[in-house]
Amino acid sequence: MRANRKRRLVIVLALVALVAVAAGLTLYALRANINLFFTPSQVAAGEAPLGRTLRLGGVVKKDSVERHQDTLHVSFQVTDFASDVEVSFDDILPDLFREGQGVVVVGQLDADGEFIAQQVLAKHDENYMPPEAAEALKAAGNLPDGSVPSS
């Protein structure tokens, strides 16, 4: 390789390395803001701000969903299998919402530690399955819908 080509190769590699380091440091500095949601454990540890709009992510706890008879009001607990957060919501839930399903809830945390949701988003995991396979898993006592933590 001729000398000037080698020099250009070094310049190109240095450029990419430099930009990668710059991007890496920026993202590292912003890491708290890039996370889409707080986990229930972070809420329990007091890391989530009160009275500000934030997102809470986790799994809808088994047997925690209570629907109001006459209104859309629904309350449920979001868990990460370490801590739980009580959530109340007054609007239409997405189709994928069910117990054991991963969700991201947008709303505010009030002083009692209850989460007042404005929007509920269902999170789909990386598993896809035909209905028959899901039935077979269910028959074997191994529910596919998140009764075991998926990650």
CB 74, CB 93: distance < 8 Å: yes
Q: Return the residues of window 9-28 that contact other proteins according to CB under 8 A.
A: 9, 11-12, 15-16, 19-20, 23, 27
Binding mask 96-115 for other proteins (x = CB under 8 A): x-------x-----------
Burial class (CB in 10 A: 0-12, 13-18, 19+), 102: buried
CB 122, CB 101: distance < 8 Å: yes
The CB-of-89 to other proteins minimum distance in angstroms stands at 12
95 part of the interface to other proteins, by CB under 8 A: yes
* Whole-angstrom distance, CA of residue 71 vs CA of residue 76: 15
Q: Which is nearer to other proteins, 69 or 124 (CB)?
A: 124
Query: Which one of 46, 51, 131, 141 is in contact with other proteins (CB under 8 A)?
Result: 131
Residues 6+ apart with CB under 8 A from 35: none
Strands (E), 2-150: 53-60, 66-67, 74-79, 84-89, 102-109, 115-123
Binding mask 44-83 for other proteins (x = CB under 8 A): -------------x--------------------------
37 part of the interface to other proteins, by CB under 8 A: yes
Residues 6+ apart with CB under 8 A from 32: none
Give the residues lining the site for other proteins (CB under 8 A).
5, 8-9, 11-12, 15-16, 19-20, 23, 27, 31, 34-37, 39, 57, 93-96, 104, 119-135, 144-145, 151
